[in-house]
Amino acid sequence: VGVVLLMCFGNLRGIKEAGKAFAVPTYLFAGSVILMIVVGLIRELIGNLHATDPAALHGTYEIHSNSSGLLTGAMIFVLLKAFANGGASLTGIEAVSDAVGAFKPPEGRNARKVLLTEGAILGILIAGISWLAHSTKATPYKAGYPTVLAQEAQAVFGSSFIGHALFYLLQAATMLILYTGGNTSFNGFPFLTSYV
């Protein structure tokens, strides 16, 4: 409720001011994830990135090799769920297409640039996170925590003081980006209703 009230207060100041306020978590998240990807790739290239053994972890999803039909069904379900969750990360795209009229002239060209930039950043983030999940053998837990992103950050940043600080920075940025994701519909709804 507090976050919704904060979004409401931020949006009452106007679109331009709200955009500036909600841009900080976006830049913080993208920057911290890109830093994690770069550090992870460097550590992998020098052979210093260690993978966990999924069989030694407790509380993760178990896969039995003797149930191929069930395994196939589970893989299809996981693939569809991953697609649905990934689709949720595309919420900014329809917000840009709804708000083309709010861009500076030439509106269409500027909106196209934003969409291309957004798509490139999103592609880099998804590809990098997926590669690190493969490299570190990050495994989903039944309880939902630690998340795959948290497992990757722990493996990449390590257990030093700076590593812990970067881990918590990434966790805070993830929390903030999820909160500000609600702002997309808050801003996009008036444009969408005016078109309808």
Please give the average per-residue pLDDT across 81-97, as a whole number: 67
What's the pLDDT score for residue 66? Answer: 56
Please give the average per-residue pLDDT across 94-107, as a whole number: 79
What's the pLDDT score for residue 125? Answer: 92
Query: Across the chain, what does the average pLDDT equal?
Result: 82
What's the pLDDT score for residue 44? Answer: 93
Helices 161-195 and 148-157: crossing angle, nearest 10°? 140
- Is the pLDDT at 174 greater than 80, yes or no? yes
What's the pLDDT score for residue 168? Answer: 96
- Would you place residue 149 in the very low, low, confident or very high pLDDT band (cuts 50, 70, 90)? very high
Record the pTM. Answer: 0.77
- Is the pLDDT at 123 greater than 70, yes or no? yes
- Would you place residue 88 in the very low, low, confident or very high pLDDT band (cuts 50, 70, 90)? low
Quickly list DSSP for the chain: -HHHHHHHHHHHT-HHHHHHHHHHHHHHHHHHHHHHHHHHHHHHHTT--PPP-GGG-SSBPP--TT-HHHHHHHHHHHHHHHHHHHHHTTHHHHHHHHTGGGSPSSHHHHHHHHHHHHHHHHHHHHHHHHHHHHHHT---BTT--S-HHHHHHHHHH-SSHHHHHHHHHHHHHHHHHHHHHHHHHHHHHHHHHHH-
